[in-house]
Structures are given as C-alpha cells and as structure tokens.
Amino acid sequence: MSATLTEEQLRTIAAQYGTPVYVYHAEKITEQYTLLQNAFRKSHTRFFYASKALTNINILRHILSLGCDIDCSSINEVKLALHAGFEKDNILYTSNGIAFSEIEEAVALGVKINIDSLSNLEKFGKKYGHSYPVGIRLRPNIMAGGNLKISTGHEKSKFGIPIEQLDTILALVKENDLFIHALHIHTGSEIKDVSVFMKVAGIFTDLVPHFPEVRFLDLGGGFKVPYKEGESGTDIPLLGQKVAEIIDQLSATHQRSFEAWFEPGKFLVSECGYFITEVNVLKQSGQTHFAGVNSGFNHLIRPMFYDAYHRIQNISNPEGPLRPYTIVGNICETDTFATDRELNEVREGDLLVFYNAGAYGFEMGSNYNSRFKPAQVLVSKDQTWLIGKRDSFEDLLRNQVLVL
C-alpha cells in the first residue's frame, strides 16, 4: 500500500497552518528509497539524493536517516548537507559552470567532486595533481528526458564536457597526473525508458579502458515518476537488474570492482509533496470558467516553465459534479496551472490540492509581486510539524538597504 495523505489530513493541515502551504509526507520518501534499495540489492550501487529538488533541512535529515547519500549543485548546498549532518565522504558536488574558487572550497571541505569543464579540470590538475580524486562530467549526444528544457545530454546542452573532446581530456589527465575516480553522465529529467540509462552504461563501457583508476560510474538522476493518474514511471526493478549485469561484466573484464552511482531528486521527493491553495475568485469568460487561487508561478512554476502537468483535486467538495476549470494564479503575469481541467464543482473558498509538489516546487519559488513564500509542513508517523514558516513582511525588506 502506497503511502499517501488523505484529503481529510490535508484539510486539517490547511485549517491549522493556513494556505498556501506545502505538505511533505516522510513515509513516502522512505517508501521510494526502499524501492531503490530492493531493486539494486544485487549490485554495488550508491544513491546520492539530488538535493536541489527540495532542501528543507528536515527533509535532508530524513533522507540521511534512511542511509542515502547526497548530491549538491552549489557550494551552499554542500554546506547545507554538512549542516544537516551528512559525512563529507557521502556528499557529492556535481558542479556546472562554476568558478574554480568554489571547487577549491569543496576540496577544503573534503567532499566528492564532479567537474564539468576542461578549464576547471586543468586548474584542478595544476593545483591538486594526483592528490585528490575527482570525477568528470561528460556530455554524450543523447536526447533524453521529458522535453528540451529538462534534457541535458543533447549536443546544444551546456552541461558536461562534450564527449568528442575525449582526446583533450586524456591529454589533460596525463599532463597533470589527474586521479580520475568517477565518470558522470546525467542526460536529463523524467526519463521513463530504461534503454537511455543503458546507452549511458554503454558509453561508460567504451570509456573505462581509457581511465584505469575509474571505479565509480555515475549515471545521474532523472527517474520518471507518475504525474498523471494511471501513468507509470521508470521501471526501477528492470533498471536494477540491468545495472547489476553491466557492473558485474565490467568488474570481471577489468579485474577491479566498479560501483554504480545515481542522483535521484524527483524520484525521492516528488510524490511526497502536496501543495494546498485556496480559491479566491471564480470568473467566467465565454466557455472558460476560471478558478483563481491564492498562489501563482511564484510558488509553483513547473506548469508555466516546463508545461508540467500536476494532478489537481478540489478537496472541499469531493462529491460535487465534475466541471472543466482553468486554474490560474493571482500574479500579474499569465500564470495558468491547468486549462479546462475537470474538477468537482469549485466554490470560492474551496481548497485545491496540487499533487507531486515535493520536487522543484517550493524550491523554485520566489517573492515575485512581493508575495510571501508559502509555509512548509512535514507529516511523519501521523505527527505534523511546521518545518518552514510562511514569509512575513520583514522578510521582504530584510536585505534591502535604505539609502534615500
């Protein structure tokens, strides 16, 4: 039985904490991590939670308590991970486009690092030589992921070192006596098809003979989770089985033990999250019935940014007749969450819940229109905690410097 929060629980939380509010269910994260553990039992595999999906310190601590490691996309995320209690050996910093000074900081903190440009790789070699193992982030020419905006492996993508530059990489490694312990490829997000990961594994198989010290093959994140009802995600058990075969084969061929690494973000935290909003106004224009909620792309930008689909439910009128609504926000921009979506009849004051709101929801939020970022609530073992306060008016002024 999948861990879910009931509409009754969500209504109670909305009444207690107000709206808009993000709600996270710890047991759902546990369930997702357990699924990974079971599927990859047979292989040496490590999971680094891509923390950019949701960085609330309590979420990080819950993930730590499960025994999961952590992947960071900025030096501040590295510091948050340390603050949450992760050991430096279990922190991975997969950088892209960063100043070399951040890499020096990461070395000083002692965490694992993946480097994504020739220039930083060269600087790294000159400064650390063989003394600090490092991973290389490569960019294959694979088009993968839900759409172009979330695909990172194609030939116009800024991420990673283009694989055609292998000769230059090898020359750099040799010249600076670099200790390359990991190869990294992250092709994008929402990859349903296991064969995409197999293509990456195939590329690693071709590359390994060039890197005699590589032990870790990092296939990035990007597992798909269901957003729509009846939709299915990446076949995790199948992926686990395939990865075990490849790792075994490589270990046998090269007489050293390899380990697969993954960096799931969405997979661990998407489904644990619920975003509860309240309907401010109903408006009709021709055939369109607008339901305007007390939120906008300042709180949940995925529908506008990526055309992402989020399931929405009217939890205040679950028995009401189904009608099509266009759900919009209150920001002075077009911020449409969904067009002509069937909902149980909506009345002003009703609560609309957005599902799959755990990953890249609050985290991509802003104070646009000088609106407050929402409160965040954690539910674990039927206890409820406030884990992020709603902004207050002082927060809007906090970093402003009065000079006039």
CB of 150 to ligand PLP, least distance (A): 7
CB of 49 to ligand PLP, least distance (A): 9
Q: Does 139 bind ligand PLP (CB under 6 A)?
A: no
**272 tagged catalytic:** no
Task: In whole angstroms, give the CA distance from residue 138 to residue 15.
Answer: 48
Q: Which of residues 3-42 bind ligand PLP (CB under 6 A)?
A: none
- For the beta carbon of residue 45, count every other beta carbon within 10 angstroms: 21
- Closest chain position to ligand PLP (CB): 265
β-bridge partners, 280 = none
Q: Does 157 bind ligand PLP (CB under 6 A)?
A: no
CB 24 within 8 A of CB 358: yes
Tell me which stretch binds ligand PLP (CB under 6 A): 24-32, 217-225, 345-353, 394-402. Answer: 217-225
Mask 38-67, x = binds ligand PLP (CB under 6 A)?
------------x-xx--------------
Give the residue with the Cβ less far from ligand PLP, 216 or 223. 223
CB of 229 to ligand PLP, least distance (A): 21
In the list 10, 22, 71, 120, the residue contacting ligand PLP (rule: CB under 6 A) is: 71
Tell me which stretch binds ligand PLP (CB under 6 A): 99-107, 163-171, 203-211, 214-222. Answer: 214-222
Omega of the bond prior to 20 within 30 degrees of 0, cis? yes
Q: Which two tokens stand for residue 285?
A: 């224009």
Task: In whole angstroms, give the CA distance from residue 91 to residue 111.
Answer: 6
Give the residue with the Cβ less far from ligand PLP, 234 or 277. 234
Q: Which of residues 83-112 bind ligand PLP (CB under 6 A)?
A: 94
Q: Does 222 bind ligand PLP (CB under 6 A)?
A: yes
Mask 317-356, x = binds ligand PLP (CB under 6 A)?
----------------------------------------
Q: Does 113 bind ligand PLP (CB under 6 A)?
A: no
Q: Which of residues 351-380 bind ligand PLP (CB under 6 A)?
A: 359
Q: Does 189 bind ligand PLP (CB under 6 A)?
A: yes
Q: Does 68 bind ligand PLP (CB under 6 A)?
A: no
Give the residue with the Cβ less far from ligand PLP, 222 or 296. 222
Q: Does 220 bind ligand PLP (CB under 6 A)?
A: yes
Q: How many residues bind ligand PLP, per CB under 6 A?
A: 18
Give the residue with the Cβ less far from ligand PLP, 218 or 350. 218
Of 161, 180, 184, nearest in space to 97 by CA: 161
Mask 242-271, x = binds ligand PLP (CB under 6 A)?
---------------------xxxxx----
In the list 56, 73, 234, 376, the residue contacting ligand PLP (rule: CB under 6 A) is: 73
Residues of this chain that bind ligand PLP (CB under 6 A): 50, 52-53, 71, 73, 94, 186, 189, 220-223, 263-267, 359
- Residues with catalytic function: 332
